[in-house]
Chain A
Amino acid sequence: MPQTILQQIQTILDESGGAVFWTTAEIWDAVNETLLEVWPQTNHLSTSSSWVLQTGTQFFDYPSNIMIPQTLLGTDRSHLFSTTYAKMEQFSPVWRTATPGYAQHVIHFDIGTVRPYPLLDGTYTYTLHGMPWPPELSDASPTLTADATLVTAVAHLAAAKLLEHTIPMAADLQEREGNEVLQRYISNVRNQLANRVKRLRVANKFNVAQSGSIPPSGSPPAYF
């Protein structure tokens, strides 16, 4: 039976008999910080939430279960795009005076808030997809439910944070090891079915980035 993440870290710290120099509270701090850093890098989980936007309000915070918002769907499940203040002002200098209606876009106000465009004339339920918050681990909730490779990466990276204070060279080594294992996990995620299908394409042709969407006049379209 594999070790728990706490046991893995305590083994790395040579404290497999139990906490001596590093209290479990300190270890959980390091693990939780690592989870917050690793989750956005792996991008391996997605969640969604109903998001009720209503009239009379300019700004809306993201639903609390979403750490990083990524895709917004309208009431008819169509994809609505986010935009910026600068682009809105290029689009229409009077955009803020638009007649309220069904919001077609959301504009980034700050890192946790958007403003719909146009402002709403009623209550609509949108769906926001994004990356969920990682679980917070503690003595009461010590299990990280994740792929074994990811758990090992988190253990090394958390140990690096703990060793930073006393044995910095060992911390560097643990960090390098953790990042190496993390890259292996990211490769595993990337190589799953959906992405393999994308590789079924004719070789030796330009891709979109190289060729552009529109072929030069007189030449055949650029396939890939």
Chain B
Amino acid sequence: MALSDKWTQAQIRTAVRRKLLDPSGRWWTDAELAQYIEDWQVYLQDSFELTWNTATITTSAQEIVVSSATALSDMMRLDRVYWNEIRLSPLDKQGLDERFPDWRSVVATNTSPSTPTIVYQEDSNRINFYPPPNQTGTITIEYPISPTFVASTSTMQIPAWTRYSAIPYSCYRAYMRSGPNHDLQRALRWKAAFQKRLKRIKMIVDKHWPERYPRIQPAASGPSYESRLVNPTQPPNTNNYY
């Protein structure tokens, strides 16, 4: 076992039980803790979009119904959409109304080939294209996944370095609910501890691929910056770099 190993739901539950001083499940059932651990993973994924997936659908339809598309079964929310590898501009219906007041009357015809350039959503369960296609295209959709533990032996779907934050989250939920161990003060302490973990997770996310290299930036208003941009052969002032 290494710190780079992702934990299974059962391993997380064991660690949580150690903190709750309930190793044999006397006060909190496995099913209850499993729900908290599930919620923890969704919470982190929703906050940081740590894990993404991609789906490919071939269609000539103007609309894809998310709940009917098997390829999108693990989608948390829609993000980038490509038609034949070209990015479609995302717009909402109000944006379409402003730009193309007659957009509802545009229909796919066989006489004038039309390739969608815009993606919009009729509602949260539908993905629509404008103008409507009259040919088959390959749609690539990239999205943050909606993570889940299918079984207690399933491993977490977010990075291994988040695994210990499941403990304060689950403890806070466990103490918050009514019952013989209901303890709001303790629940709030654990919630504060979880919020500290969130800050550290953000710090680790930010440390990925640091962009700390010096780059051209204007010193003051004046023609120098523009002249440097239009005359790239001019050697840089190396004294300003380290």
Contacts and interface: CB of A to CB of B under 8 A. Distances in A.
B159 A97 contact: no
Interface string A35-49: 111001101000000
A23 interface: yes
A108 B86 CA distance: 18
B58 to A, nearest CB: 16
B106 interface: no
Interface string A142-169: 0000000000000000000100110010
B15 interface: yes
Interface string B212-233: 0011111110111100100000
Contact of A36 (B164, B168, B218, B224): B164
A136 interface: yes
B189 A217 contact: no
A134 B214 contact: no
A212 B159 CA distance: 38
Interface string B74-117: 00000010100111000000000000000000000000000000
Interface residues of B, number: 57
B116 to A, nearest CB: 14
Contacts of B144: 110
Given A23-B18, A215-B219, A110 B237 contact: no
Interface string B184-223: 0010011001000000100111011110001111111011
A211 B219 contact: yes
B216 to A, nearest CB: 5
Nearest to A111: B50
B164 A110 contact: no
B110 to A, nearest CB: 26
A32 B52 contact: no
Given A111-B51, A216-B222, A70 B210 contact: yes
Given A36-B161, A89-B87, A164-B193, A213 B237 contact: yes
Given A40-B204, A111-B208, A221 B240 contact: yes
Contacts of B87: 89, 93, 96
Interface string A186-224: 000000000000100000000010011111110001111
A177 interface: no
B155 to A, nearest CB: 13
Contacts of A68: 204, 207-208
A214 B82 contact: no
- Interface core residue of A23, A59, A111, A136 (most chain B CB under 10 Å): A111
Contact of B51 (A89, A97, A110): A110
Contacts of B3: 32, 35-36, 133-136
Contacts of A131: 207
A113 interface: yes
A183 interface: no
A59 B216 CA distance: 31
A208 B50 contact: no
Interface of A: 23, 25-26, 29, 32-33, 35-37, 40-41, 43, 58-59, 64-65, 67-70, 82, 85, 89, 93-94, 96-97, 108-113, 131, 133-136, 138, 161, 164-165, 168, 198, 208, 211-217, 221-224
Given A135-B2, A212-B220, 12 more contacts: A29-B15, A29-B164, A40-B203, A67-B4, A96-B87, A109-B52, A109-B142, A111-B48, A112-B50, A112-B159, A133-B2, A221-B240
The 7 closest A-B pairs by CB, nearest first: A212-B219, A33-B164, A110-B52, A96-B85, A216-B220, A82-B209, A111-B50
